[in-house]
Structure 1
């Protein structure tokens, strides 16, 4: 986190998944990681997006959270009201039309469209969205769209930006020394945004086996 922010990235996500049986030590480590990340991003005027752990994120002063569809479905009406009452900016994952519709139901500040390309970061049943679905999401989602999944090369990031995506998520491509790798990613982002927009299909292709 500290290396990425020091390299000039202004939006970062902290993703710490909950183990099957979280113990007290894990919970303490999670709290410390979020608190440290909040402090780092606040000092650098960067936006921290905490994945999943919205109650703790709010308690420790984060500004934004990202929820997967499973997390969204797990929220009761009371939970949704409590989340809204925090004032946190909320981003939601989406992999299909019905997930996009479900995400829009809570007025997110962005939706993530993915996986754009096949990814090993997270096991999932979805077909790759591809640039065609990404361009459709950008055109139809009604909120900013973040491209995520399988973005390992600069050319891929440029194409995702060319689709009109407001943000592009890079994970493994940052490497161990982000200060050395980020300038090339930022250049690709600038080039993609300057290129002619990708065509938008009339409808997206299916992203799950029928």
Structure 2
């Protein structure tokens, strides 16, 4: 190659090394801060380090000297899509695409002067394909779960069934009745039974496109590939559970007064249960915060102090769901109201109609997206 051609190759290598490094850093931050995924964060950091080592085969001063940002005509070429991102998944998709393209350019132009360098970049590129696949799938799963949760109105709590067929039938009838979230809660069974039902239920719920939550047991939720776990005030703290669950799965937290609601808002919880609202048949309580508590929660949403989806829970049925709605809460978690097979669809439909009188407000997830894009 002529000196001019060699300098041009250096310019291309410099530009694409910067592009690939920036893309990998963007993805590493996504794995670290959005998904809280140690393994993915480590993989992406390793890819970034390997790229830096590979670029060490080139003289850094020569690369910098070849740089001509003011004279680069490409800096003047932009598209409208470059100036905005629809959500966090779009940020990741743009970064993976940009990084892959930059690595390919490094490989191809590197072949003109250093085949060994090109081979190393090819290896990094293939490793990145596998990591990027896992990252995007996890992010997509996280976004899908968060979106379904934000749109949810009806949350049903169920116990284990005698066999897989009965469990499938139960989930199917709830899904057909437009229940959005189903929680498996059964303290009467052993761990193996709970895990088997959780695993079977997770697969069925996914097919039916409803969220599948396991009560208390984060270990079983993860092992069974459930969408999340729900815990009480006396269980393992939410932020400690996040290390087990990862960012892509949901964590719900029970709250019984407005102080606990404010405390929940400072954790990484994805939603809260608020109650007990009325006396129910599944649990005994000495105190019922009732609709006064629900109104406090609604007021906190109105003022922006709370940006978590809040589900009223405790003895809620057709005879009192109107009171929940009037308190400003448009989501409920129920057991007995949807326990009967007879009239299930009509009951669910009527409850949903009443709950939909309460409009949804901005949630923490959508605020997070907005703040990230503004930066």
TM-score of the superposed pair, with normalisation by structure 1: 0.76
**Residue 143 (str. 1) matches residue 308 (str. 2):** yes
Q: 2:185 aligns with which of 1, 6, 15?
A: 15
Distance 1:193 1:164, change over 3 A: farther
1:109-124 matches, cutoff 5 A: 109-124=270-285
Residue 207 of structure 2 corresponds to 43
Give the corresponding residue for 2:290. Answer: 130
Structure-2 change in CA distance of 1:61 and 1:80 (3 Å): closer
Aligned position for 2:303: none
Question: Is residue 2:351 matched to residue 1:181?
Answer: no
- Give the C-alpha shift of residue 195 in structure 1: 7.0
Q: Which moved more, 1:162-171 or 1:87-96?
A: 162-171
Match in the other structure for 2:225: 61
Residues 195, 43 of structure 1: CA spacing in aligned structure 2 closer, same or farther, 3 A cutoff? closer
Query: What is the alpha-carbon root mean square deviation over aligned residues?
Result: 2.5
Q: Report whether the alignment pairs 1:91 with 2:252.
A: yes
- Tell whether the 8 Å contact from 2:182 to 2:212 is kept in structure 1 after alignment: yes
- Structure number, greater radius of gyration: 2
Deviations 1:164-191 (A, max 9, x none): 324211211223316x223233223313
> Residues 91 and 151 from structure 1, CA distance in 2 versus in 1: closer, same or farther, beyond 3 angstroms?
same
- In structure 1, how many angstroms separate the alpha carbons of the residues matched to 2:326 and 2:310? 12
TM-score (structure 2 length as normaliser): 0.45
- Name the CA distance, whole Å, in 1 between partners of 2:310 and 2:202: 24
Unaligned ranges ≥5, structure 2: 1-169, 301-305, 360-375
Question: Do the aligned residues in 1 keep the contact of 2:330 with 2:357 (CA within 8 Å)?
Answer: no
Structure 1: any 5+ residue segments left out of the alignment?
A: 197-210
When you count helix as a share of all residues, which structure comes out higher? 2
Structure 1 residue 147, shift from structure 2 partner: 0.3
Q: CA deviation at 1:192?
A: 4.1
What number of residue pairs does the alignment pair up?
A: 184
Q: What is the CA–CA distance in structure 2 between the aligned matches of 1:104 and 1:28, rounded to whole Å?
A: 34
**Secondary structure in structure 2 of the residue aligned to 1:102:** helix
Residues 32 and 195 of structure 1: is their aligned pair in 2 closer, same or farther, counting only changes over 3 Å?
A: closer
Q: Please state how far the C-alpha of 1:161 moved relative to its aligned partner.
A: 2.8
- Paired residues of 2:175 and 2:208 also in contact (CA < 8 A): yes
2-structure distance, mates of 1:30, 1:84: 18
Cα offset for 1:81? 5.0
CA distance in 2: counterparts of 1:12 and 1:94, whole angstroms: 19
Rate the CA distance shift 1:130–1:27 in 2: closer, same or farther, 3 A.
closer
Q: Supply the distance in 2 between the matched residues of 1:188 and 1:7 (Cα, whole angstroms).
A: 11
1:115 CA displacement: 0.5
